[in-house]
Amino acid sequence: MPELNRLLKNVGLPGTRQMANRVAGQTEIIDLTLGQPDFPVPQAVRDRVMQAVDNEPMKYSHNRGMMELRKAITDFYKDKYTAEYEPSDEVIVTNGGSEALDTIFRTIINPGDEVIMPAPVYTGYEPIVTMLGGTAVLVDTTETGFIPTAQKLEAAMTQRTKAVLLNYPNNPTGAVYPKGTVASLVELFKRHDIFIVVDEMYAENTLDGEHHSFTSYPAIKDRLLAVNGLSKSHAMTGWRIGWLLGSAEMIEKLTLVHLYNTLCASMPSQIAALEALTGAADAPAEMNAAYKERRDYIYRRLVNMGLETVLPEGAFYIFPSIKGYNESSFDFAVELLEEAGVAVVPGAAFSEYGEGHIRISFATGMENLEEAADRMEKFLNGKKR
Protein backbone atom coordinates (compact mmCIF):
# COMPACT_ATOMS: atom_id res chain seq x y z
CA MET A 1 0.00 0.00 0.00
CA PRO A 2 1.32 3.51 -0.79
CA GLU A 3 2.25 5.58 2.24
CA LEU A 4 -0.63 7.29 4.00
CA ASN A 5 -0.69 10.72 5.62
CA ARG A 6 2.00 10.38 8.28
CA LEU A 7 0.04 12.49 10.73
CA LEU A 8 -2.81 9.96 10.71
CA LYS A 9 -0.85 7.78 13.14
CA ASN A 10 -1.46 10.46 15.80
CA VAL A 11 -5.24 10.17 15.50
CA GLY A 12 -7.46 7.42 16.90
CA LEU A 13 -11.13 6.63 17.30
CA PRO A 14 -12.58 9.04 19.90
CA GLY A 15 -13.45 7.62 23.29
CA THR A 16 -17.11 8.55 22.88
CA ARG A 17 -17.39 6.33 19.81
CA GLN A 18 -15.31 3.55 21.33
CA MET A 19 -17.81 3.14 24.13
CA ALA A 20 -20.87 3.67 21.93
CA ASN A 21 -19.64 1.07 19.44
CA ARG A 22 -19.00 -1.34 22.27
CA VAL A 23 -22.65 -1.38 23.30
CA ALA A 24 -24.31 -1.01 19.90
CA GLY A 25 -27.19 -3.44 19.52
CA GLN A 26 -27.09 -4.64 23.14
CA THR A 27 -30.65 -4.00 24.28
CA GLU A 28 -29.95 -4.86 27.93
CA ILE A 29 -27.39 -2.03 28.19
CA ILE A 30 -28.49 1.47 29.16
CA ASP A 31 -26.49 3.68 26.82
CA LEU A 32 -25.59 7.09 28.25
CA THR A 33 -22.66 7.72 25.91
CA LEU A 34 -23.59 9.82 22.89
CA GLY A 35 -25.10 13.30 22.67
CA GLN A 36 -28.04 12.12 20.62
CA PRO A 37 -31.31 13.87 21.58
CA ASP A 38 -34.12 11.37 22.02
CA PHE A 39 -36.73 13.82 20.73
CA PRO A 40 -38.18 13.59 17.23
CA VAL A 41 -37.38 16.28 14.67
CA PRO A 42 -40.18 18.89 14.88
CA GLN A 43 -43.16 17.89 12.77
CA ALA A 44 -43.18 21.19 10.89
CA VAL A 45 -39.63 20.53 9.71
CA ARG A 46 -40.43 17.02 8.50
CA ASP A 47 -43.60 18.16 6.73
CA ARG A 48 -41.79 20.99 4.94
CA VAL A 49 -39.02 18.69 3.68
CA MET A 50 -41.45 16.06 2.41
CA GLN A 51 -43.33 18.77 0.53
CA ALA A 52 -40.09 20.09 -0.96
CA VAL A 53 -38.83 16.66 -2.04
CA ASP A 54 -42.13 16.00 -3.81
CA ASN A 55 -42.50 19.38 -5.50
CA GLU A 56 -39.19 21.25 -5.72
CA PRO A 57 -35.97 20.56 -7.64
CA MET A 58 -33.14 19.43 -5.38
CA LYS A 59 -30.32 21.15 -7.27
CA TYR A 60 -27.12 22.81 -6.04
CA SER A 61 -27.50 25.92 -3.96
CA HIS A 62 -25.00 28.77 -3.86
CA ASN A 63 -21.75 27.51 -2.33
CA ARG A 64 -22.55 29.48 0.83
CA GLY A 65 -26.08 28.13 1.00
CA MET A 66 -29.59 29.27 0.15
CA MET A 67 -29.93 33.02 0.54
CA GLU A 68 -33.23 32.57 2.43
CA LEU A 69 -31.49 30.34 4.95
CA ARG A 70 -28.49 32.63 5.32
CA LYS A 71 -30.86 35.52 6.00
CA ALA A 72 -32.74 33.46 8.59
CA ILE A 73 -29.42 32.70 10.31
CA THR A 74 -28.27 36.32 10.39
CA ASP A 75 -31.73 37.45 11.53
CA PHE A 76 -31.51 34.96 14.39
CA TYR A 77 -28.18 36.40 15.54
CA LYS A 78 -29.41 39.98 15.21
CA ASP A 79 -32.58 39.30 17.20
CA LYS A 80 -30.91 37.24 19.92
CA TYR A 81 -27.42 38.71 20.23
CA THR A 82 -27.68 42.11 18.48
CA ALA A 83 -24.98 40.74 16.17
CA GLU A 84 -24.69 42.30 12.73
CA TYR A 85 -23.81 39.87 9.93
CA GLU A 86 -24.60 40.21 6.23
CA PRO A 87 -26.30 37.14 4.72
CA SER A 88 -24.62 37.68 1.36
CA ASP A 89 -20.99 37.45 2.45
CA GLU A 90 -20.64 36.78 6.18
CA VAL A 91 -22.17 33.32 6.63
CA ILE A 92 -21.63 29.86 5.12
CA VAL A 93 -24.11 27.00 5.51
CA THR A 94 -22.16 23.80 6.18
CA ASN A 95 -22.71 20.06 6.49
CA GLY A 96 -22.95 20.21 10.26
CA GLY A 97 -20.76 21.96 12.79
CA SER A 98 -17.98 19.45 12.19
CA GLU A 99 -17.54 20.53 8.59
CA ALA A 100 -17.58 24.17 9.69
CA LEU A 101 -14.72 23.51 12.12
CA ASP A 102 -12.78 21.50 9.55
CA THR A 103 -13.18 24.33 7.03
CA ILE A 104 -11.98 26.90 9.56
CA PHE A 105 -8.85 25.04 10.58
CA ARG A 106 -7.90 24.01 7.05
CA THR A 107 -8.12 27.69 6.18
CA ILE A 108 -6.08 29.13 9.05
CA ILE A 109 -3.60 26.45 10.22
CA ASN A 110 -0.04 26.07 8.97
CA PRO A 111 2.29 23.30 10.22
CA GLY A 112 3.69 24.31 13.60
CA ASP A 113 0.78 26.57 14.57
CA GLU A 114 -0.76 26.20 18.01
CA VAL A 115 -4.44 26.25 18.95
CA ILE A 116 -5.33 26.83 22.60
CA MET A 117 -8.26 24.76 23.88
CA PRO A 118 -9.73 24.81 27.40
CA ALA A 119 -9.87 21.26 28.77
CA PRO A 120 -11.56 18.86 29.34
CA VAL A 121 -12.13 19.19 25.62
CA TYR A 122 -14.51 17.69 23.06
CA THR A 123 -12.94 14.69 21.32
CA GLY A 124 -13.37 16.06 17.81
CA TYR A 125 -11.14 19.13 18.10
CA GLU A 126 -7.57 17.96 18.60
CA PRO A 127 -7.51 15.49 15.66
CA ILE A 128 -8.39 18.21 13.13
CA VAL A 129 -5.49 20.39 14.26
CA THR A 130 -3.13 17.42 14.52
CA MET A 131 -3.82 16.21 10.97
CA LEU A 132 -2.97 19.69 9.70
CA GLY A 133 0.41 19.63 11.40
CA GLY A 134 -0.67 21.95 14.19
CA THR A 135 -0.53 21.46 17.95
CA ALA A 136 -3.37 21.60 20.44
CA VAL A 137 -2.35 23.42 23.63
CA LEU A 138 -4.68 22.40 26.44
CA VAL A 139 -5.52 24.69 29.35
CA ASP A 140 -6.74 23.04 32.54
CA THR A 141 -10.13 24.34 33.78
CA THR A 142 -10.77 21.74 36.47
CA GLU A 143 -10.01 24.19 39.30
CA THR A 144 -12.29 26.96 37.99
CA GLY A 145 -15.57 25.10 37.56
CA PHE A 146 -14.64 24.05 34.00
CA ILE A 147 -14.67 27.72 32.90
CA PRO A 148 -11.46 29.18 31.40
CA THR A 149 -9.96 32.38 32.75
CA ALA A 150 -8.30 35.12 30.73
CA GLN A 151 -5.19 34.78 32.88
CA LYS A 152 -4.74 31.07 32.11
CA LEU A 153 -5.43 31.48 28.40
CA GLU A 154 -2.94 34.33 28.12
CA ALA A 155 -0.30 32.33 29.99
CA ALA A 156 -0.63 29.60 27.33
CA MET A 157 -0.06 31.96 24.40
CA THR A 158 3.20 31.87 22.46
CA GLN A 159 4.49 33.32 19.22
CA ARG A 160 3.06 30.25 17.51
CA THR A 161 -0.49 30.68 18.81
CA LYS A 162 -2.81 30.94 15.82
CA ALA A 163 -6.20 30.59 17.52
CA VAL A 164 -8.17 29.92 20.67
CA LEU A 165 -11.04 27.43 20.38
CA LEU A 166 -13.89 27.84 22.85
CA ASN A 167 -16.90 25.55 23.26
CA TYR A 168 -19.82 26.47 25.50
CA PRO A 169 -22.17 25.28 26.78
CA ASN A 170 -19.39 22.80 27.04
CA ASN A 171 -19.11 19.21 25.94
CA PRO A 172 -18.32 17.24 28.15
CA THR A 173 -18.92 19.33 31.28
CA GLY A 174 -22.08 21.34 30.57
CA ALA A 175 -20.32 24.52 31.74
CA VAL A 176 -21.77 27.86 30.64
CA TYR A 177 -19.67 31.02 30.45
CA PRO A 178 -21.01 33.91 32.58
CA LYS A 179 -21.25 37.30 30.89
CA GLY A 180 -18.31 38.59 32.92
CA THR A 181 -16.13 35.75 31.67
CA VAL A 182 -17.03 36.45 28.05
CA ALA A 183 -16.33 40.18 28.52
CA SER A 184 -12.95 39.52 30.12
CA LEU A 185 -11.98 37.15 27.32
CA VAL A 186 -12.97 39.76 24.73
CA GLU A 187 -10.60 42.23 26.40
CA LEU A 188 -7.86 39.59 26.25
CA PHE A 189 -8.46 38.88 22.57
CA LYS A 190 -8.30 42.58 21.71
CA ARG A 191 -4.66 42.53 22.80
CA HIS A 192 -3.57 39.55 20.71
CA ASP A 193 -3.43 38.98 16.98
CA ILE A 194 -5.09 35.56 16.91
CA PHE A 195 -8.28 33.98 15.65
CA ILE A 196 -11.13 33.27 18.06
CA VAL A 197 -13.05 30.14 17.09
CA VAL A 198 -16.28 29.59 19.02
CA ASP A 199 -18.35 26.41 18.87
CA GLU A 200 -21.81 27.35 20.14
CA MET A 201 -23.59 24.16 19.08
CA TYR A 202 -25.28 23.89 22.49
CA ALA A 203 -26.18 27.59 22.79
CA GLU A 204 -29.91 26.86 22.53
CA ASN A 205 -29.52 24.18 25.19
CA THR A 206 -28.63 26.64 27.93
CA LEU A 207 -30.63 25.35 30.89
CA ASP A 208 -29.95 28.09 33.46
CA GLY A 209 -29.55 31.79 32.71
CA GLU A 210 -28.77 32.80 29.14
CA HIS A 211 -26.12 32.25 26.53
CA HIS A 212 -23.70 35.15 26.03
CA SER A 213 -22.29 35.03 22.51
CA PHE A 214 -18.97 36.46 21.36
CA THR A 215 -20.84 37.57 18.22
CA SER A 216 -22.28 40.38 20.36
CA TYR A 217 -18.85 42.06 20.44
CA PRO A 218 -18.06 43.89 17.16
CA ALA A 219 -14.54 44.76 18.38
CA ILE A 220 -13.37 41.19 17.65
CA LYS A 221 -15.55 40.47 14.61
CA ASP A 222 -12.61 40.64 12.17
CA ARG A 223 -10.98 37.61 13.85
CA LEU A 224 -14.05 35.81 15.24
CA LEU A 225 -15.28 32.61 13.58
CA ALA A 226 -18.52 31.34 15.13
CA VAL A 227 -19.91 27.85 14.55
CA ASN A 228 -23.43 26.64 15.26
CA GLY A 229 -26.12 24.36 13.87
CA LEU A 230 -29.33 22.47 14.51
CA SER A 231 -28.08 19.03 15.60
CA LYS A 232 -28.76 19.62 19.28
CA SER A 233 -31.31 22.45 19.34
CA HIS A 234 -33.75 20.69 16.99
CA ALA A 235 -32.63 17.04 17.41
CA MET A 236 -31.36 17.08 13.81
CA THR A 237 -28.08 15.20 14.29
CA GLY A 238 -28.42 13.05 11.17
CA TRP A 239 -29.44 15.96 8.94
CA ARG A 240 -25.87 17.31 9.11
CA ILE A 241 -26.64 21.00 8.87
CA GLY A 242 -24.76 23.86 10.47
CA TRP A 243 -23.13 27.18 9.68
CA LEU A 244 -20.23 29.45 10.37
CA LEU A 245 -20.14 33.23 10.71
CA GLY A 246 -17.21 35.52 10.07
CA SER A 247 -16.12 38.79 8.53
CA ALA A 248 -16.60 39.21 4.78
CA GLU A 249 -12.83 38.98 4.27
CA MET A 250 -12.62 35.68 6.14
CA ILE A 251 -15.77 34.19 4.61
CA GLU A 252 -14.31 34.77 1.15
CA LYS A 253 -11.31 32.61 2.07
CA LEU A 254 -13.36 30.03 3.96
CA THR A 255 -15.72 29.61 1.01
CA LEU A 256 -12.83 28.38 -1.14
CA VAL A 257 -12.04 25.57 1.29
CA HIS A 258 -15.72 24.77 1.85
CA LEU A 259 -16.62 24.53 -1.83
CA TYR A 260 -13.70 22.26 -2.73
CA ASN A 261 -14.63 20.00 0.16
CA THR A 262 -18.38 19.75 -0.22
CA LEU A 263 -19.55 22.26 -2.88
CA CYS A 264 -22.66 23.12 -0.88
CA ALA A 265 -24.70 21.74 1.99
CA SER A 266 -27.44 19.20 1.29
CA MET A 267 -30.50 20.95 -0.17
CA PRO A 268 -33.13 18.93 1.75
CA SER A 269 -31.26 19.73 4.95
CA GLN A 270 -31.05 23.42 4.05
CA ILE A 271 -34.80 23.50 3.52
CA ALA A 272 -35.25 21.75 6.85
CA ALA A 273 -32.97 24.28 8.55
CA LEU A 274 -34.95 27.20 7.16
CA GLU A 275 -38.15 25.74 8.56
CA ALA A 276 -36.47 25.00 11.91
CA LEU A 277 -35.34 28.60 12.32
CA THR A 278 -38.62 30.14 11.19
CA GLY A 279 -41.44 27.65 11.79
CA ALA A 280 -40.09 25.63 14.72
CA ALA A 281 -38.20 28.24 16.71
CA ASP A 282 -39.88 27.12 19.96
CA ALA A 283 -38.61 23.54 19.75
CA PRO A 284 -35.46 24.10 21.89
CA ALA A 285 -37.46 25.52 24.80
CA GLU A 286 -39.75 22.48 24.82
CA MET A 287 -36.80 20.09 24.84
CA ASN A 288 -34.93 22.10 27.47
CA ALA A 289 -37.79 21.74 29.95
CA ALA A 290 -37.30 17.97 29.79
CA TYR A 291 -33.50 18.25 29.87
CA LYS A 292 -33.66 20.38 32.99
CA GLU A 293 -35.87 17.85 34.76
CA ARG A 294 -33.47 15.06 33.80
CA ARG A 295 -30.44 17.14 34.76
CA ASP A 296 -31.82 17.89 38.21
CA TYR A 297 -32.71 14.23 38.77
CA ILE A 298 -29.38 12.71 37.79
CA TYR A 299 -27.43 15.43 39.62
CA ARG A 300 -29.35 14.68 42.82
CA ARG A 301 -28.80 10.96 42.46
CA LEU A 302 -25.06 11.33 41.80
CA VAL A 303 -24.59 13.62 44.80
CA ASN A 304 -26.48 11.15 47.00
CA MET A 305 -24.10 8.44 45.77
CA GLY A 306 -21.26 10.51 47.19
CA LEU A 307 -19.82 11.63 43.84
CA GLU A 308 -18.48 15.18 43.63
CA THR A 309 -20.44 16.74 40.78
CA VAL A 310 -20.64 20.24 39.27
CA LEU A 311 -24.20 21.14 38.28
CA PRO A 312 -24.14 21.64 34.49
CA GLU A 313 -25.92 24.79 33.32
CA GLY A 314 -26.11 23.80 29.67
CA ALA A 315 -25.92 21.03 27.08
CA PHE A 316 -27.13 17.58 28.24
CA TYR A 317 -24.06 16.13 29.92
CA ILE A 318 -22.96 15.79 33.50
CA PHE A 319 -19.34 15.12 34.48
CA PRO A 320 -19.08 13.60 37.97
CA SER A 321 -15.74 12.87 39.63
CA ILE A 322 -14.84 9.25 40.36
CA LYS A 323 -11.44 10.11 41.82
CA GLY A 324 -12.40 8.59 45.17
CA TYR A 325 -12.24 5.11 43.66
CA ASN A 326 -8.53 5.31 42.80
CA GLU A 327 -8.73 3.80 39.33
CA SER A 328 -8.62 5.12 35.80
CA SER A 329 -11.80 6.45 34.26
CA PHE A 330 -11.51 3.84 31.52
CA ASP A 331 -11.34 0.95 34.00
CA PHE A 332 -14.22 2.46 35.96
CA ALA A 333 -16.38 2.81 32.83
CA VAL A 334 -15.63 -0.76 31.69
CA GLU A 335 -16.52 -2.16 35.12
CA LEU A 336 -19.72 -0.13 35.21
CA LEU A 337 -20.61 -1.48 31.77
CA GLU A 338 -19.77 -5.10 32.47
CA GLU A 339 -21.11 -5.34 36.01
CA ALA A 340 -24.08 -2.95 35.91
CA GLY A 341 -24.97 -2.69 32.23
CA VAL A 342 -24.60 1.11 32.15
CA ALA A 343 -22.48 2.69 29.40
CA VAL A 344 -20.78 6.03 30.06
CA VAL A 345 -17.72 7.73 28.55
CA PRO A 346 -14.41 7.76 30.45
CA GLY A 347 -13.32 11.28 31.29
CA ALA A 348 -9.86 10.59 29.85
CA ALA A 349 -11.48 10.58 26.40
CA PHE A 350 -11.64 14.37 26.80
CA SER A 351 -7.91 14.78 27.49
CA GLU A 352 -5.75 14.15 30.53
CA TYR A 353 -7.70 16.87 32.35
CA GLY A 354 -10.85 14.79 32.11
CA GLU A 355 -9.22 11.85 33.91
CA GLY A 356 -10.91 11.03 37.19
CA HIS A 357 -14.36 11.78 35.74
CA ILE A 358 -17.00 10.11 33.61
CA ARG A 359 -19.38 11.77 31.18
CA ILE A 360 -23.05 10.87 31.45
CA SER A 361 -25.45 11.99 28.71
CA PHE A 362 -28.98 12.73 29.87
CA ALA A 363 -30.27 13.06 26.31
CA THR A 364 -32.44 10.04 27.07
CA GLY A 365 -35.77 9.42 28.78
CA MET A 366 -36.38 9.57 32.53
CA GLU A 367 -37.15 5.86 32.66
CA ASN A 368 -33.67 5.08 31.34
CA LEU A 369 -32.06 7.58 33.70
CA GLU A 370 -33.86 6.18 36.74
CA GLU A 371 -32.87 2.61 35.92
CA ALA A 372 -29.29 3.68 35.15
CA ALA A 373 -29.05 5.54 38.46
CA ASP A 374 -30.38 2.54 40.37
CA ARG A 375 -27.87 0.23 38.70
CA MET A 376 -25.02 2.67 39.26
CA GLU A 377 -25.87 3.14 42.91
CA LYS A 378 -25.90 -0.63 43.45
CA PHE A 379 -22.58 -0.89 41.60
CA LEU A 380 -20.97 1.82 43.75
CA ASN A 381 -22.25 0.27 46.97
CA GLY A 382 -20.19 -2.78 46.15
CA LYS A 383 -16.98 -0.85 45.40
CA LYS A 384 -14.25 0.15 47.83
CA ARG A 385 -13.01 3.72 48.03
Asked whether the beta carbons of 26 and 349 are under 8 A apart, the reply is no
Q: What is the pLDDT of residue 156?
A: 98
Encoded amino acid at 63, one letter? N
372, pLDDT greater than 80: yes
**CB-count burial class (<10 Å; 0-12, 13-18, 19+) for 130:** middle
Residue-wise DSSP of 157-169: --TTEEEEEEESS
Asked whether the beta carbons of 330 and 364 are under 8 A apart, the reply is no
- 163: which strand partners? 115, 195
Question: In this predicted model, what pLDDT tens digit does every residue of 185-226 receive, in sequence order?
Answer: 999 999 999 999 999 999 999 999 999 999 999 999 999 999
Q: What is 57-278's CATH topology?
A: Aspartate Aminotransferase; domain 2 (3.40.640)
211 closest CA partner among 221, 198, 223: 198
What's the first-to-final CA gap in the chain, in angstroms?
50
Pairing of strands 135-140, 114-119: parallel
Handedness of CA 212, 215, 97, 121 (dihedral sign): negative
Q: What is the pLDDT of residue 25?
A: 65
Asked whether the beta carbons of 214 and 245 are under 8 A apart, the reply is no
15, pLDDT greater than 80: no
Alpha helices in the chain, H assignment, sequence order: 15-23, 43-55, 67-81, 96-108, 125-131, 150-155, 179-190, 248-262, 267-278, 283-304, 329-335, 366-381
Prior bond to 268 cis, omega within 30?
no
Q: Mean pLDDT lowest for which of 26-30, 75-79, 93-97, 306-310?
A: 26-30
Average pLDDT of the segment spanning 335-353: 95
Instruction: Tell me how far the alpha carbon of residue 283 is from its chain's centroid.
Output: 19
pLDDT band at 19 (very low <50, low <70, confident <90, very high): low
What residue ranges do the domains of the chain occupy?
Answer: 6-41+283-380, 57-278
CATH of the structural domain 6-41+283-380, one choice from 3.40.640.10, 3.30.505.10, 3.90.1150.10, 3.40.1080.10: 3.90.1150.10
Residue 281 main-chain phi, psi, to 5 deg: -65, -20
Whole-number Å distance between alpha carbons of 198 and 274: 22
> Residue 325 contacts by C-beta under 8 Å, 6 or more apart in sequence?
332, 383, 384, 385
> Residue 385 contacts by C-beta under 8 Å, 6 or more apart in sequence?
324, 325, 326
DSSP state, residue 277: H
109 closest CA partner among 125, 93, 130: 130
Question: In this predicted model, what pLDDT tens digit does every residue of 253-303 receive, in sequence order?
Answer: 999 999 999 999 999 999 999 999 999 999 999 999 999 999 999 999 999
Q: What is the pLDDT of residue 4?
A: 83
pLDDT band at 50 (very low <50, low <70, confident <90, very high): very high
Neighbours of 147 (CB within 10 A): 16
Q: What is the pLDDT of residue 14?
A: 66
Whole-number Å distance between alpha carbons of 315 and 359: 12
Determine what percent of the chain is predicted with pLDDT higher than 90: 91
Encoded amino acid at 365, one letter? G
Name the average pLDDT for the chain.
95
DSSP state, residue 34: S
Whole-number Å distance between alpha carbons of 61 and 260: 14
Q: Is 29 helix (H, G, I), strand (E, B) or coil?
A: coil
Instruction: Tell me how far the alpha carbon of residue 251 is from its chain's centroid.
Output: 21
pLDDT band at 366 (very low <50, low <70, confident <90, very high): very high
Q: What is the pLDDT of residue 10?
A: 77
78, pLDDT greater than 70: yes
Q: Mean pLDDT lowest for which of 13-17, 33-37, 137-141?
A: 13-17
Pairing of strands 342-343, 224-229: unpaired
Average pLDDT of the segment spanning 4-10: 81
Prior bond to 42 cis, omega within 30?
no
Residue with more model confidence, 15 or 160: 160
